[in-house]
Structure 1
Amino acid sequence: MIGYHFKTQHSVRIAQLTDCHLLAAPEGMYQGVQPYHTLAAVLEAIKHSKLDALILTGDLTQDHSVASYQHYLALLAEFSLPVFWLPGNHDDSQLMSTLFQQAPFRPEKQLFAAGWQLLLLDSTGPTPAGYFPTTRLQSLQHQLQSDLRPCWLFAHHHPAPIGSSIDRHGWQDAEPFWQLLHQHTQVQGIAHGHCHHAYHRQLQGKNVVGCPATSVQFQQTGVWQTLAVGPQWCEWTFTDQGNFSVDFKRIMP
Protein backbone atom coordinates (compact mmCIF):
# COMPACT_ATOMS: atom_id res chain seq x y z
CA MET A 1 0.00 0.00 0.00
CA ILE A 2 1.32 3.43 -0.95
CA GLY A 3 1.29 5.80 2.00
CA TYR A 4 1.11 9.57 2.29
CA HIS A 5 3.89 11.27 4.26
CA PHE A 6 3.21 14.67 5.77
CA LYS A 7 6.15 17.03 5.88
CA THR A 8 8.36 16.74 8.97
CA GLN A 9 6.86 18.84 11.76
CA HIS A 10 6.25 18.67 15.50
CA SER A 11 2.47 18.32 15.20
CA VAL A 12 -0.21 17.69 12.60
CA ARG A 13 -3.77 19.03 12.83
CA ILE A 14 -6.56 17.24 10.99
CA ALA A 15 -10.29 17.95 10.72
CA GLN A 16 -12.57 14.91 10.56
CA LEU A 17 -15.89 15.48 8.80
CA THR A 18 -18.50 12.77 8.54
CA ASP A 19 -22.09 11.91 7.63
CA CYS A 20 -22.67 14.94 5.42
CA HIS A 21 -25.50 13.22 3.47
CA LEU A 22 -25.45 15.56 0.48
CA LEU A 23 -28.10 15.37 -2.22
CA ALA A 24 -27.96 16.18 -5.92
CA ALA A 25 -29.88 19.44 -5.32
CA PRO A 26 -28.06 21.96 -3.05
CA GLU A 27 -31.43 22.97 -1.60
CA GLY A 28 -32.44 19.36 -0.96
CA MET A 29 -33.59 18.41 2.54
CA TYR A 30 -32.29 15.65 4.80
CA GLN A 31 -33.95 15.20 8.20
CA GLY A 32 -35.03 18.82 8.41
CA VAL A 33 -31.80 20.46 7.26
CA GLN A 34 -30.15 21.32 3.97
CA PRO A 35 -26.98 19.21 4.22
CA TYR A 36 -25.19 21.06 1.42
CA HIS A 37 -25.43 24.26 3.43
CA THR A 38 -24.48 22.70 6.77
CA LEU A 39 -21.35 21.26 5.15
CA ALA A 40 -20.59 24.58 3.46
CA ALA A 41 -20.84 26.29 6.87
CA VAL A 42 -18.32 23.87 8.37
CA LEU A 43 -15.90 24.32 5.48
CA GLU A 44 -16.17 28.09 5.80
CA ALA A 45 -15.47 27.82 9.54
CA ILE A 46 -12.32 25.75 9.07
CA LYS A 47 -11.07 27.39 5.87
CA HIS A 48 -8.69 29.71 7.69
CA SER A 49 -7.73 27.30 10.46
CA LYS A 50 -4.17 26.06 10.55
CA LEU A 51 -5.07 22.55 9.48
CA ASP A 52 -2.82 20.09 7.68
CA ALA A 53 -5.52 17.82 6.22
CA LEU A 54 -9.15 16.79 6.13
CA ILE A 55 -10.44 13.25 6.59
CA LEU A 56 -13.97 12.47 5.39
CA THR A 57 -15.25 9.36 7.15
CA GLY A 58 -18.19 8.30 5.07
CA ASP A 59 -21.84 8.85 4.19
CA LEU A 60 -20.83 11.79 2.07
CA THR A 61 -23.99 11.30 -0.01
CA GLN A 62 -27.59 10.48 0.76
CA ASP A 63 -28.90 9.79 -2.73
CA HIS A 64 -25.78 8.12 -4.24
CA SER A 65 -25.80 10.63 -7.11
CA VAL A 66 -22.87 11.85 -9.17
CA ALA A 67 -24.07 15.41 -8.56
CA SER A 68 -23.86 14.98 -4.78
CA TYR A 69 -20.19 13.99 -5.03
CA GLN A 70 -19.47 16.76 -7.50
CA HIS A 71 -20.52 19.25 -4.83
CA TYR A 72 -17.42 18.21 -2.89
CA LEU A 73 -15.21 19.03 -5.86
CA ALA A 74 -16.67 22.54 -5.96
CA LEU A 75 -16.79 23.15 -2.20
CA LEU A 76 -13.20 22.00 -1.66
CA ALA A 77 -11.69 23.56 -4.77
CA GLU A 78 -10.18 26.42 -2.75
CA PHE A 79 -8.56 24.12 -0.19
CA SER A 80 -4.85 23.56 -0.67
CA LEU A 81 -4.55 20.91 2.04
CA PRO A 82 -4.96 17.20 1.21
CA VAL A 83 -8.39 15.63 1.60
CA PHE A 84 -8.53 11.91 2.43
CA TRP A 85 -11.68 9.84 2.42
CA LEU A 86 -13.26 6.49 3.15
CA PRO A 87 -16.73 5.20 2.27
CA GLY A 88 -19.84 4.84 4.42
CA ASN A 89 -22.86 2.64 3.92
CA HIS A 90 -24.62 5.34 1.87
CA ASP A 91 -21.64 5.77 -0.45
CA ASP A 92 -20.62 4.28 -3.78
CA SER A 93 -16.92 3.44 -3.41
CA GLN A 94 -16.30 3.00 -7.13
CA LEU A 95 -17.97 6.29 -7.93
CA MET A 96 -15.93 8.04 -5.24
CA SER A 97 -12.70 6.59 -6.61
CA THR A 98 -13.61 7.79 -10.09
CA LEU A 99 -14.67 11.30 -9.14
CA PHE A 100 -12.13 12.01 -6.40
CA GLN A 101 -9.04 11.80 -8.59
CA GLN A 102 -8.19 15.51 -8.65
CA ALA A 103 -6.68 17.78 -6.02
CA PRO A 104 -7.23 18.29 -3.18
CA PHE A 105 -8.44 14.68 -2.93
CA ARG A 106 -5.89 11.98 -2.19
CA PRO A 107 -6.26 8.19 -2.65
CA GLU A 108 -3.95 7.05 0.16
CA LYS A 109 -5.39 5.15 3.13
CA GLN A 110 -2.13 4.95 5.12
CA LEU A 111 -0.91 8.29 6.46
CA PHE A 112 2.32 9.10 8.27
CA ALA A 113 2.12 12.23 10.39
CA ALA A 114 4.43 13.53 13.17
CA GLY A 115 5.58 10.04 14.11
CA TRP A 116 2.09 8.55 13.85
CA GLN A 117 0.53 6.06 11.48
CA LEU A 118 -3.11 6.81 10.61
CA LEU A 119 -5.00 4.05 8.81
CA LEU A 120 -8.27 4.61 6.94
CA LEU A 121 -10.35 1.43 6.98
CA ASP A 122 -13.23 0.36 4.77
CA SER A 123 -15.96 -1.04 7.03
CA THR A 124 -18.73 -1.18 4.44
CA GLY A 125 -20.52 -4.28 3.22
CA PRO A 126 -23.70 -5.46 1.47
CA THR A 127 -26.04 -3.98 4.11
CA PRO A 128 -26.00 -0.71 6.10
CA ALA A 129 -24.11 -2.54 8.87
CA GLY A 130 -20.35 -2.62 9.26
CA TYR A 131 -18.29 -5.53 7.96
CA PHE A 132 -14.61 -6.34 8.32
CA PRO A 133 -13.98 -9.73 6.70
CA THR A 134 -10.84 -11.84 6.87
CA THR A 135 -9.18 -10.17 3.89
CA ARG A 136 -9.42 -6.77 5.57
CA LEU A 137 -8.24 -8.19 8.88
CA GLN A 138 -5.20 -9.70 7.20
CA SER A 139 -4.37 -6.42 5.47
CA LEU A 140 -4.66 -4.50 8.74
CA GLN A 141 -2.54 -7.09 10.54
CA HIS A 142 0.19 -6.73 7.90
CA GLN A 143 0.17 -2.95 8.23
CA LEU A 144 0.41 -3.09 12.01
CA GLN A 145 3.15 -5.72 11.97
CA SER A 146 5.25 -3.77 9.49
CA ASP A 147 5.11 -0.44 11.32
CA LEU A 148 5.22 -0.11 15.10
CA ARG A 149 4.82 3.64 15.43
CA PRO A 150 1.78 4.90 17.40
CA CYS A 151 -1.39 4.36 15.40
CA TRP A 152 -4.96 5.61 15.10
CA LEU A 153 -7.60 3.93 12.97
CA PHE A 154 -10.41 5.70 11.14
CA ALA A 155 -13.54 3.95 9.86
CA HIS A 156 -17.17 4.72 9.19
CA HIS A 157 -18.95 2.22 11.42
CA HIS A 158 -18.79 2.08 15.21
CA PRO A 159 -16.92 -1.03 16.42
CA ALA A 160 -19.08 -1.60 19.51
CA PRO A 161 -22.67 -0.81 20.56
CA ILE A 162 -23.32 2.62 22.05
CA GLY A 163 -26.88 2.10 23.31
CA SER A 164 -28.58 3.77 20.36
CA SER A 165 -31.00 2.68 17.66
CA ILE A 166 -28.07 2.86 15.20
CA ASP A 167 -26.60 -0.22 16.91
CA ARG A 168 -28.69 -2.46 14.65
CA HIS A 169 -26.46 -1.20 11.82
CA GLY A 170 -23.24 -1.43 13.82
CA TRP A 171 -20.03 -3.36 13.17
CA GLN A 172 -20.96 -7.02 12.67
CA ASP A 173 -18.76 -9.75 14.13
CA ALA A 174 -16.36 -7.23 15.65
CA GLU A 175 -14.61 -9.68 17.99
CA PRO A 176 -11.86 -10.73 15.54
CA PHE A 177 -11.14 -7.03 14.95
CA TRP A 178 -10.79 -6.40 18.69
CA GLN A 179 -8.62 -9.49 19.11
CA LEU A 180 -6.29 -8.08 16.47
CA LEU A 181 -6.12 -4.71 18.23
CA HIS A 182 -5.19 -6.41 21.50
CA GLN A 183 -2.15 -7.90 19.75
CA HIS A 184 -0.87 -4.46 18.77
CA THR A 185 -0.31 -2.09 21.65
CA GLN A 186 0.70 0.73 19.30
CA VAL A 187 -2.96 1.16 18.29
CA GLN A 188 -4.21 3.99 20.47
CA GLY A 189 -7.79 3.96 19.25
CA ILE A 190 -10.36 4.09 16.49
CA ALA A 191 -12.41 7.08 15.32
CA HIS A 192 -15.65 6.64 13.39
CA GLY A 193 -18.78 8.29 12.07
CA HIS A 194 -22.15 6.59 11.38
CA CYS A 195 -23.61 7.32 14.83
CA HIS A 196 -24.16 11.07 14.31
CA HIS A 197 -23.10 11.45 17.94
CA ALA A 198 -20.04 12.91 19.69
CA TYR A 199 -18.38 10.80 22.35
CA HIS A 200 -14.97 9.66 23.58
CA ARG A 201 -14.63 6.60 25.77
CA GLN A 202 -12.27 3.80 26.69
CA LEU A 203 -13.19 0.32 25.50
CA GLN A 204 -11.09 -2.80 25.97
CA GLY A 205 -8.06 -0.64 26.65
CA LYS A 206 -8.45 1.47 23.48
CA ASN A 207 -9.88 4.92 22.81
CA VAL A 208 -13.07 5.04 20.76
CA VAL A 209 -14.19 8.39 19.37
CA GLY A 210 -17.49 9.03 17.65
CA CYS A 211 -17.35 12.02 15.33
CA PRO A 212 -20.59 14.01 15.15
CA ALA A 213 -22.20 14.74 11.79
CA THR A 214 -22.06 17.88 9.70
CA SER A 215 -25.78 17.27 9.00
CA VAL A 216 -27.93 16.20 11.97
CA GLN A 217 -27.26 14.27 15.17
CA PHE A 218 -29.02 11.11 16.37
CA GLN A 219 -30.76 10.82 19.73
CA GLN A 220 -29.15 8.23 21.96
CA THR A 221 -32.35 6.26 22.40
CA GLY A 222 -33.75 2.95 21.26
CA VAL A 223 -36.13 4.74 18.90
CA TRP A 224 -34.50 6.52 15.97
CA GLN A 225 -34.80 10.31 16.24
CA THR A 226 -32.72 13.17 14.87
CA LEU A 227 -31.64 16.51 16.30
CA ALA A 228 -30.89 19.57 14.16
CA VAL A 229 -28.60 21.33 16.63
CA GLY A 230 -26.05 22.79 14.23
CA PRO A 231 -23.32 21.14 12.13
CA GLN A 232 -20.52 19.44 14.06
CA TRP A 233 -17.11 17.88 13.42
CA CYS A 234 -13.83 16.83 15.10
CA GLU A 235 -10.40 18.42 15.05
CA TRP A 236 -7.41 16.21 15.84
CA THR A 237 -3.85 17.02 16.87
CA PHE A 238 -1.05 14.43 16.71
CA THR A 239 2.40 15.33 18.05
CA ASP A 240 5.85 13.85 17.59
CA GLN A 241 5.93 13.25 21.37
CA GLY A 242 3.37 10.48 20.90
CA ASN A 243 0.44 12.57 22.15
CA PHE A 244 -2.95 13.18 20.59
CA SER A 245 -6.02 15.27 21.34
CA VAL A 246 -9.47 15.57 19.82
CA ASP A 247 -11.82 18.54 20.05
CA PHE A 248 -15.51 18.41 19.22
CA LYS A 249 -16.57 21.46 17.23
CA ARG A 250 -20.03 22.88 16.60
CA ILE A 251 -21.70 25.77 14.79
CA MET A 252 -24.74 26.91 16.73
CA PRO A 253 -27.96 27.12 14.69
Structure 2
Amino acid sequence: MAWFDDTHHFKKSRIKLAHITDSHLFADPQGQYFDINTAEYLKQVLQQLTQYEIDGVIFGGDLTQDHSVASYELFSLLVKRSGLSCPVFWVPGNHDEIQMLEQMSRGQISAAKRLCTNNLDILLLDTKGETPAGWCEAQHLKDTEAVIKSSEHKTIAFCHHHSIPINGYLDKHILENGPQLLNTLVNTGDVLAVFHGHVHNEYHSQFRGLDVYATPATSVQFTKHVSDWQQQDLGPAWRLVCIDGQNYDTEVVWLNE
Protein backbone atom coordinates (compact mmCIF):
# COMPACT_ATOMS: atom_id res chain seq x y z
CA MET A 1 0.00 0.00 0.00
CA ALA A 2 2.90 2.33 -0.78
CA TRP A 3 0.58 4.97 -2.31
CA PHE A 4 -1.17 5.39 1.05
CA ASP A 5 1.88 5.04 3.31
CA ASP A 6 2.27 8.80 3.83
CA THR A 7 -0.46 9.83 6.28
CA HIS A 8 -1.51 13.24 7.57
CA HIS A 9 -3.42 13.51 10.88
CA PHE A 10 -5.63 16.53 11.50
CA LYS A 11 -6.16 15.39 15.13
CA LYS A 12 -9.67 16.82 15.39
CA SER A 13 -13.19 15.87 14.35
CA ARG A 14 -14.31 19.04 12.56
CA ILE A 15 -12.37 20.34 9.58
CA LYS A 16 -12.92 22.39 6.45
CA LEU A 17 -11.38 21.18 3.19
CA ALA A 18 -11.13 23.09 -0.07
CA HIS A 19 -11.19 21.06 -3.28
CA ILE A 20 -9.57 23.00 -6.14
CA THR A 21 -8.79 21.47 -9.50
CA ASP A 22 -7.76 21.85 -13.15
CA SER A 23 -5.59 24.96 -12.97
CA HIS A 24 -3.82 24.29 -16.32
CA LEU A 25 -0.86 26.54 -15.53
CA PHE A 26 1.93 27.53 -17.90
CA ALA A 27 5.56 28.36 -17.30
CA ASP A 28 4.62 31.94 -18.16
CA PRO A 29 2.43 33.50 -15.43
CA GLN A 30 0.62 35.33 -18.23
CA GLY A 31 -0.12 32.10 -20.12
CA GLN A 32 -3.70 31.69 -21.33
CA TYR A 33 -5.89 28.60 -21.66
CA PHE A 34 -8.85 29.39 -23.94
CA ASP A 35 -8.22 33.10 -23.36
CA ILE A 36 -8.13 32.67 -19.56
CA ASN A 37 -5.11 33.72 -17.50
CA THR A 38 -5.03 30.54 -15.44
CA ALA A 39 -2.43 31.75 -12.94
CA GLU A 40 -4.47 34.84 -12.15
CA TYR A 41 -7.63 32.79 -11.62
CA LEU A 42 -5.82 30.33 -9.34
CA LYS A 43 -4.35 33.25 -7.42
CA GLN A 44 -7.85 34.64 -6.85
CA VAL A 45 -9.11 31.28 -5.57
CA LEU A 46 -6.21 30.83 -3.17
CA GLN A 47 -6.72 34.32 -1.81
CA GLN A 48 -10.41 33.65 -1.24
CA LEU A 49 -9.60 30.45 0.67
CA THR A 50 -7.83 32.52 3.32
CA GLN A 51 -11.25 33.88 4.32
CA TYR A 52 -12.69 30.43 5.13
CA GLU A 53 -10.41 29.09 7.90
CA ILE A 54 -9.52 26.12 5.71
CA ASP A 55 -7.73 23.19 7.38
CA GLY A 56 -6.48 21.62 4.16
CA VAL A 57 -6.57 22.07 0.40
CA ILE A 58 -6.88 19.12 -1.96
CA PHE A 59 -5.74 19.87 -5.50
CA GLY A 60 -7.62 17.63 -7.92
CA GLY A 61 -5.16 17.34 -10.80
CA ASP A 62 -4.25 18.90 -14.14
CA LEU A 63 -1.94 21.41 -12.57
CA THR A 64 -0.14 22.05 -15.84
CA GLN A 65 -1.09 22.74 -19.44
CA ASP A 66 2.38 22.98 -20.99
CA HIS A 67 3.90 20.13 -18.90
CA SER A 68 6.83 22.31 -17.84
CA VAL A 69 8.78 22.18 -14.59
CA ALA A 70 8.25 25.94 -14.37
CA SER A 71 4.46 25.50 -14.25
CA TYR A 72 4.83 23.35 -11.10
CA GLU A 73 7.19 25.95 -9.65
CA LEU A 74 4.56 28.60 -10.38
CA PHE A 75 1.93 26.59 -8.50
CA SER A 76 4.25 26.37 -5.49
CA LEU A 77 4.95 30.09 -5.66
CA LEU A 78 1.25 30.99 -5.83
CA VAL A 79 0.55 28.80 -2.79
CA LYS A 80 3.45 30.38 -0.90
CA ARG A 81 2.27 33.91 -1.67
CA SER A 82 -1.42 33.24 -1.01
CA GLY A 83 -1.34 33.65 2.76
CA LEU A 84 -2.69 30.13 3.30
CA SER A 85 -1.12 28.38 6.27
CA CYS A 86 -2.79 24.96 5.87
CA PRO A 87 -1.29 21.95 4.06
CA VAL A 88 -1.96 21.43 0.36
CA PHE A 89 -2.41 17.86 -0.95
CA TRP A 90 -2.82 16.56 -4.52
CA VAL A 91 -4.01 13.80 -6.82
CA PRO A 92 -2.57 13.39 -10.33
CA GLY A 93 -4.51 14.43 -13.42
CA ASN A 94 -4.06 13.26 -16.97
CA HIS A 95 -1.92 16.34 -17.77
CA ASP A 96 0.36 15.79 -14.79
CA GLU A 97 3.64 14.02 -14.29
CA ILE A 98 3.60 12.31 -10.91
CA GLN A 99 7.37 12.73 -10.56
CA MET A 100 7.00 16.50 -10.92
CA LEU A 101 4.17 16.56 -8.39
CA GLU A 102 6.34 14.62 -5.96
CA GLN A 103 9.31 16.94 -6.49
CA MET A 104 7.01 19.88 -5.73
CA SER A 105 5.87 18.24 -2.48
CA ARG A 106 7.89 19.71 0.34
CA GLY A 107 6.96 21.98 3.20
CA GLN A 108 3.38 23.18 2.87
CA ILE A 109 2.68 21.01 -0.19
CA SER A 110 2.34 17.42 0.99
CA ALA A 111 2.48 14.08 -0.83
CA ALA A 112 0.28 12.39 1.83
CA LYS A 113 -2.52 10.30 0.36
CA ARG A 114 -4.30 9.20 3.53
CA LEU A 115 -5.70 12.06 5.59
CA CYS A 116 -7.23 11.26 8.96
CA THR A 117 -9.53 13.15 11.27
CA ASN A 118 -10.58 11.74 14.63
CA ASN A 119 -13.67 10.16 13.07
CA LEU A 120 -13.31 10.07 9.27
CA ASP A 121 -10.63 9.21 6.70
CA ILE A 122 -9.93 10.93 3.39
CA LEU A 123 -8.22 8.95 0.62
CA LEU A 124 -6.55 10.55 -2.40
CA LEU A 125 -6.64 8.13 -5.34
CA ASP A 126 -4.54 7.69 -8.48
CA THR A 127 -6.60 7.50 -11.69
CA LYS A 128 -3.88 8.60 -14.12
CA GLY A 129 -3.74 6.33 -17.14
CA GLU A 130 -1.60 6.19 -20.27
CA THR A 131 -4.10 8.33 -22.22
CA PRO A 132 -6.27 11.35 -21.25
CA ALA A 133 -8.84 8.79 -20.13
CA GLY A 134 -8.27 7.51 -16.63
CA TRP A 135 -7.38 4.05 -15.40
CA CYS A 136 -7.09 2.52 -11.92
CA GLU A 137 -4.50 -0.22 -11.79
CA ALA A 138 -5.61 -3.51 -10.26
CA GLN A 139 -3.08 -3.22 -7.44
CA HIS A 140 -4.24 0.30 -6.66
CA LEU A 141 -7.83 -0.96 -6.38
CA LYS A 142 -6.68 -3.71 -4.01
CA ASP A 143 -4.68 -1.24 -1.92
CA THR A 144 -7.64 1.15 -1.80
CA GLU A 145 -9.94 -1.60 -0.58
CA ALA A 146 -7.39 -2.76 1.98
CA VAL A 147 -6.76 0.67 3.48
CA ILE A 148 -10.50 1.33 3.78
CA LYS A 149 -11.09 -2.00 5.49
CA SER A 150 -8.16 -1.44 7.84
CA SER A 151 -9.85 1.64 9.33
CA GLU A 152 -12.68 1.76 11.83
CA HIS A 153 -13.85 5.06 10.34
CA LYS A 154 -15.98 6.05 7.38
CA THR A 155 -14.16 7.36 4.30
CA ILE A 156 -14.52 9.96 1.57
CA ALA A 157 -12.33 9.80 -1.53
CA PHE A 158 -10.88 12.23 -4.08
CA CYS A 159 -9.59 11.48 -7.58
CA HIS A 160 -9.15 13.32 -10.88
CA HIS A 161 -11.27 11.49 -13.46
CA HIS A 162 -15.03 11.07 -13.53
CA SER A 163 -16.40 7.55 -13.21
CA ILE A 164 -20.02 8.26 -14.22
CA PRO A 165 -20.89 9.69 -17.66
CA ILE A 166 -21.80 13.39 -17.71
CA ASN A 167 -23.52 13.26 -21.12
CA GLY A 168 -20.87 15.50 -22.61
CA TYR A 169 -17.71 15.65 -24.68
CA LEU A 170 -15.41 14.70 -21.80
CA ASP A 171 -17.02 11.27 -21.58
CA LYS A 172 -14.49 10.22 -24.24
CA HIS A 173 -11.88 10.71 -21.49
CA ILE A 174 -13.82 9.08 -18.64
CA LEU A 175 -12.20 6.73 -16.11
CA GLU A 176 -12.28 3.61 -18.25
CA ASN A 177 -12.74 1.21 -15.36
CA GLY A 178 -14.84 3.64 -13.35
CA PRO A 179 -17.54 1.11 -12.42
CA GLN A 180 -14.83 -1.15 -11.00
CA LEU A 181 -13.52 1.67 -8.81
CA LEU A 182 -17.00 2.69 -7.67
CA ASN A 183 -17.99 -0.91 -6.91
CA THR A 184 -14.78 -1.32 -4.93
CA LEU A 185 -15.67 1.75 -2.85
CA VAL A 186 -19.33 0.80 -2.38
CA ASN A 187 -18.65 -2.84 -1.54
CA THR A 188 -16.55 -1.90 1.48
CA GLY A 189 -19.70 -0.40 3.01
CA ASP A 190 -17.68 2.44 4.52
CA VAL A 191 -17.35 5.10 1.79
CA LEU A 192 -19.67 8.10 1.92
CA ALA A 193 -18.70 10.05 -1.20
CA VAL A 194 -16.16 10.54 -3.97
CA PHE A 195 -15.09 13.92 -5.38
CA HIS A 196 -13.39 14.52 -8.72
CA GLY A 197 -12.36 17.19 -11.21
CA HIS A 198 -11.52 16.74 -14.92
CA VAL A 199 -14.94 17.77 -16.30
CA HIS A 200 -14.56 21.52 -15.64
CA ASN A 201 -18.03 22.09 -14.20
CA GLU A 202 -20.29 21.16 -11.31
CA TYR A 203 -22.11 17.81 -11.25
CA HIS A 204 -23.70 15.54 -8.64
CA SER A 205 -24.82 11.97 -9.22
CA GLN A 206 -25.05 8.69 -7.35
CA PHE A 207 -23.80 5.16 -7.88
CA ARG A 208 -25.47 2.48 -5.75
CA GLY A 209 -26.16 5.12 -3.11
CA LEU A 210 -22.64 6.57 -3.23
CA ASP A 211 -22.59 10.33 -3.77
CA VAL A 212 -20.32 11.42 -6.63
CA TYR A 213 -19.44 15.12 -6.92
CA ALA A 214 -17.60 17.01 -9.66
CA THR A 215 -15.88 20.27 -8.80
CA PRO A 216 -15.56 23.10 -11.34
CA ALA A 217 -12.13 24.27 -12.49
CA THR A 218 -10.13 27.20 -11.22
CA SER A 219 -9.61 27.92 -14.92
CA VAL A 220 -12.17 27.71 -17.73
CA GLN A 221 -15.43 25.72 -17.48
CA PHE A 222 -16.72 23.29 -20.14
CA THR A 223 -20.32 23.69 -21.27
CA LYS A 224 -22.57 20.99 -19.86
CA HIS A 225 -24.33 18.31 -21.90
CA VAL A 226 -22.95 19.11 -25.35
CA SER A 227 -21.31 16.63 -27.69
CA ASP A 228 -18.60 19.03 -28.89
CA TRP A 229 -15.93 20.72 -26.79
CA GLN A 230 -17.26 24.13 -25.74
CA GLN A 231 -15.68 26.45 -23.18
CA GLN A 232 -17.22 29.11 -20.95
CA ASP A 233 -15.54 31.80 -18.90
CA LEU A 234 -17.81 31.54 -15.86
CA GLY A 235 -15.00 32.56 -13.57
CA PRO A 236 -13.04 30.25 -11.28
CA ALA A 237 -14.71 28.03 -8.69
CA TRP A 238 -13.87 25.59 -5.93
CA ARG A 239 -15.66 23.21 -3.55
CA LEU A 240 -15.94 23.51 0.22
CA VAL A 241 -16.18 20.21 2.10
CA CYS A 242 -17.04 20.51 5.81
CA ILE A 243 -16.46 17.40 7.90
CA ASP A 244 -18.06 17.03 11.32
CA GLY A 245 -17.45 13.68 12.96
CA GLN A 246 -18.53 11.07 10.40
CA ASN A 247 -20.75 13.49 8.49
CA TYR A 248 -19.96 15.96 5.72
CA ASP A 249 -21.56 18.88 3.88
CA THR A 250 -20.38 20.32 0.61
CA GLU A 251 -21.04 23.31 -1.64
CA VAL A 252 -19.47 24.90 -4.68
CA VAL A 253 -18.20 28.47 -4.37
CA TRP A 254 -18.09 30.56 -7.57
CA LEU A 255 -15.92 33.66 -7.36
CA ASN A 256 -18.20 35.60 -9.74
CA GLU A 257 -21.29 35.14 -7.55
Instruction: Give the TM-score, by structure 2 length.
Output: 0.94
Match of 1:140 in 2: 144
Within 2, Cα distance between the matches of 1:205 and 1:108?
Answer: 28
Contact 1:38 1:214 in 2 (8 A): yes
User: Mind listing any 5+ residue stretches in structure 1 that lack a counterpart?
Assistant: none
Aligned to 2:121: 117
SS where residue 15 of structure 1 aligns?
strand
- How far 1:180 moved relative to its partner? 1.5
Cα contact 2:6–2:111 (8 A) shared by 1: no
The equivalent residue for 1:42 is 45
Partner of 2:237: 232
- Native 8 Å contact 2:11 2:116 kept in 1: no
Name the structure 2 match of 1:223: 228
Preserved CA contact (<8 Å) 1:12 1:114: no
Which residue number corresponds to residue 21 of structure 2? Answer: 18
What percent of counterpart residues are identical? 34
Matched AA of 2:211: N
- Among 61, 65, 68, the alignment partner of 2:68 is 65
CA distance in 2, matches of 1:25, 1:2: 32
Match of 2:250 in 1: 246
State the alpha-carbon separation in 1 of the partners of residues 6 and 65 from structure 2.
30
Q: Which runs of 5+ in 2 are unaligned?
A: none
1:3 aligns with 2:4: no
Partner of 2:98: 93
* Match of residue 202 from structure 2: 198
Contact 1:79–1:104 (CA<8 Å) still a contact in 2?
A: no
Query: Is the partner of 1:4 in helix, strand or coil?
Result: strand
Report the CA distance between 1:204 and its aligned residue: 1.8
Provide the secondary structure at the position in 2 that maps to 1:183. Answer: helix
Q: What does residue 163 of structure 1 align with?
A: 167
Partner Cα separation in structure 2 for residue 176 and residue 56 of structure 1: 24
Q: Structure 2 matches for 1:21-32, cutoff 5 A?
A: 21-32=24-35
Query: How many angstroms does 1:201 deviate by?
Result: 2.3
CA contact (8 A) 2:49 2:84 kept: no
Cα pair 2:164 2:178 within 8 Å, conserved = yes
SS in 2 for 1:12: strand
Matched, 1:175 2:179: yes
Residue 55 of structure 2 is aligned with which of 52, 58, 62?
Answer: 52
Q: Can you list the C-alpha shifts for 1:195-247, whole angstroms capped at 9, x where unaligned? A: 0011222222100000000001111211110100110110110111x210111
